[in-house]
A and B are shown apart, each in its own frame.
Chain A
Amino acid sequence: MKNNASSPDLNLSRPSRADRHSERQAHKIRNIFLATLSHGLIIFVGMFFAVPFLWMLLTAFKSDRDVFHSPPRWLPYDNVRMEVNGEPLDLYNVRVEDGSIKQLALIQILEGIGTFVDPAHPDEILTYEIQQGREKIAEPIMEISFRWQNFPDAMNRGSRPGVGASFWIYFRNSLIIAFFTILGTLVSNAPVAYAFARLKFPGRDLLFVIILATMMLPFQVTMIPVYLFFNNTLGWGDTFLPLIIPAFFANAWDVFLLRQFFKTIPEEMCDAARVDGASEWQIFTKIVLPLSTPVLATVTVFTFLYAWNDFTGPLLFLTSPRNFTMALGLQDFQGQKTIVWNQLMAAATVFTLPIIVAFFFAQKTFIQGIKLTGSKE
């Protein structure tokens, strides 16, 4: 290094050891400050995404009373219960005559008068006013407790009283529709995409422009004739067929996605097979498809998302509750006069769960698919 041999005046301009130390220190402090600031910002904005999600989960675990607790509490609380004479009763803190506070179990409240029993003396029945003026005499004892029972309660009920179909049925219907939609999408889109990616034939590019142009066509334009065709002409109203059958006839988005992937498979491999006398169909099924598992996984995941999520399709075609999907059932449940929020949120959680599970198992596939569909260049 030349530094040692540098001239005296250059030496003067060089920072002393102490200076360099404090500079490094300042740099370090600046970095810590920046990192803290970054974390702070990311977390602050992240609350917007996290809090509603958490609120859905937390509400799903709340007891009926706690849902409407004002002001809302984050964690779910429930009454502390005690078995008295073989019956689970809510415990209350009651201010008795002498001013002391006693733990009593509530039997019933009638017109503001509570009937209690002392767990220590189960034979004695006591009555107290719940409230005297603005002063609370008896207050329920609450503890943090997650009410798992909301989930079976929500799933075993129907969206409306007396519909004869439970959320389990809706869940099953959604699964059936999603399964066949995925099947149809995988079977029908791959050959079409292969033709656009690898085959040369007259009219290919024109047809490709047409298929891409259909992406711009709003669903509303074809909605009415397609509805009448399925519903009146074929008589498929209130069945899953109108939701499943179109999936077996390819769509622009998946064709495009698959085509982009197929184009990345080395042409030489296909050419080698062609020289050996393989037909295009053999090349497609024996060479291209086995190499395409990642993109087929992407299509599977996104078709599942689409079919599971779809609201408009089921709304148009499914009319009787036993055929409802989760989306329809949840919508119907929400439309009731008195909304049971904790059960509604439990059902919404069950509706969301399969997607979350799929995401954590196939995170890479999700992200890849989003990038492929969303940043077309």
Chain B
Amino acid sequence: MAIPDSTQHAAKRRMILGIKLPPRVVWTKRTRADFRTGMFFLLPWLIGFLTFTLYPMVISFYYSFTIYHARRLPEWVGLQNYKDLLVDDKFWLSLSNTMYMVVFAVPLGLLASFLCALLLNFKVRGQAFYRVIYFLPSIVPTVAGTILFLWLLNPQVGLVNTMLAKIGIDGPNWMADPDWSKPALILLGMWGMGGTIIIYLSGLQDVPVSLLEAAELDGANWFQRLWHITIPMVSPITLFNLITGMIAMFQYFAQAYVISGGDKDHLGQPLGSTLFYSVYLYQNAFQYLKMGYASAMAWILFVIILLFTLLLLKVSDRYTYYSG
């Protein structure tokens, strides 16, 4: 992840992802000793990186050009997996389901988190208590939360639909309805957005009071102060959470798996509306045992995530304010 730092702009030529590269190394007795000490401290990560990241990356890249059924040896097929993916309807369905969540759930969640943080920043009594209430659902384990929402959103006996019936609304079938399953999952996600709320809240508390007071003296009303001061001041938080939220959403899996009831043939139901990218990838790898095909999917996912991250960083340059 880039660590944006406005003071480094001058050194742009020697930068990777916003971090300045050091000058060329001159190897002396001293630097060699330093290097050895450094590597000694880094040992746990170096071994882990090679074993659990770099080596699997290389292997998975190789698998993506093979047909591989786990038990038999991989068989080289060149670009066949990638070509097959391009004409695989379920691949495109899973990608569009995932894009739906990235495009709607992530920004909606951020907006709602920001609004909740504004509420929790009011100077009223009992705020500490309210903050705990908003935060608690976010530490409920994913599986427990998903099951709870299956219960709440049960079409016949769930609390939500019986409440809706009381005011004369015929509630949808939620998780059992292809049009409502994703909105239901978005609701579930928003229920657990307490962490983001806390982050925004701390951002709001860091907005200099002097700035807000100065604007107030100049006659700026609440909305103007919000729009011209608060929102720009928290924009780095927005960017960071947009990127991490997007990366997480591209890997959305556990909730979709749980609502299938663990029945592998039921994954992605109803009507494929919850067949998210990672769900289809999992299905290929561990249900159909198409490890090569699944590896190709994984690499496409990686490229998509990289492109989206770079795009967001590029676009946000203009809209993000860093106080330095």
Enumerate chain A interface residues (CB-CB to B < 8 A).
35, 38-39, 41-43, 45-46, 48-53, 55-56, 59, 68, 70-72, 187-189, 191-192, 194-195, 199-229, 232, 246, 248-251, 255, 280-281, 284, 305, 308-309, 311-312, 315-316, 326-327, 330-332, 334-335, 341, 344-345, 348, 351-352, 355-356, 359, 363, 366-367, 370-371, 374-377
Contact = CB atoms under 8 A, between A and B. Distances in A.
A254 to B, nearest CB: 10
B21 A205 contact: yes
A38 to B, nearest CB: 4
Interface string B284-315: 01100001001101110110011001000000
In the A-B complex, list the 6 residue pairs whose CB atoms are closest, starting with the nearest. Answer: A249-B48, A201-B38, A195-B41, A225-B56, A335-B262, A222-B56
Contacts of A72: 157, 159, 162
A263 to B, nearest CB: 12
B275 to A, nearest CB: 15
B24 to A, nearest CB: 9
A220 B251 contact: yes
Nearest to B144: A348
Given A199-B34, A351-B144, A377-B4, 4 more contacts: A48-B191, A191-B41, A215-B1, A248-B48
B193 to A, nearest CB: 9
Interface in B31-72: 31, 34-35, 37-45, 47-49, 51-53, 55-57, 59-60, 63, 70
A221 B302 contact: yes
B8 interface: no
B47 A249 contact: yes
A312 B255 CA distance: 10
Contact of B19 (A51, A191, A209): A209
Contacts of B4: 377
Contacts of A208: 19
B199 A370 contact: yes
A38 B122 contact: yes
Nearest to A327: B143
Contact of A229 (B19, B56, B285, B294): B56
Nearest to A305: B139
Given A49-B133, A370-B195, A217 B124 contact: no
Contacts of B120: 42
A330 B298 contact: no
B109 interface: no
21 contacts: A38-B119, A46-B134, A49-B137, A201-B39, A202-B25, A202-B31, A205-B19, A211-B45, A216-B247, A220-B298, A222-B60, A249-B45, A305-B139, A309-B142, A309-B143, A334-B147, A345-B148, A345-B151, A348-B148, A374-B199, A375-B236
A374 B41 contact: no
Give the most central of B20, B60, B244, B250: most A CB within 10 Å.
B60
Nearest to A196: B42
B52 A226 contact: yes
Interface in B145-171: 147-152, 157, 159, 162, 165-166
A148 to B, nearest CB: 19
B252 to A, nearest CB: 11
B203 interface: yes
B299 A221 contact: yes
B208 interface: no
Contact of B254 (A68, A220, A312, A377): A312
B195 A42 contact: no
Nearest to B68: A224
Nearest to B306: A216
B3 interface: yes
B281 interface: yes
A355 B139 contact: yes
A280 B37 contact: yes
Contacts of A191: 41-44
A352 B21 CA distance: 45
B268 interface: no
Nearest to B154: A341
Contacts of B299: 221
Given A216-B305, A221-B57, A55 B70 contact: no
B56 to A, nearest CB: 4
B101 interface: no
B27 interface: yes
Interface in B233-262: 236-237, 240-241, 244, 247, 250-251, 253-254, 257-258, 261-262
B124 A71 contact: no
A312 B3 contact: no
A222 B49 CA distance: 11
B141 interface: yes
B77 interface: no
A218 B302 contact: yes
Given A218-B251, A225-B60, A341-B151, A334 B261 contact: yes
B217 to A, nearest CB: 18
A205 B121 CA distance: 39
Contacts of B152: 52, 55
Nearest to A329: B143
Contact of B148 (A52, A71, A212, A219): A52
A334 B258 contact: yes
Contact of B166 (A59, A71, A217): A71
Nearest to A280: B37
B17 interface: yes
Nearest to A376: B240
B60 A221 contact: yes
A216 B247 CA distance: 7
Given A194-B41, A199-B37, A228-B70, A311 B136 contact: no
Contacts of B194: 49
Contacts of A334: 147, 150, 258, 261-262
A377 to B, nearest CB: 5
A192 B42 contact: yes
Contacts of B45: 188, 192, 211, 249-250, 255
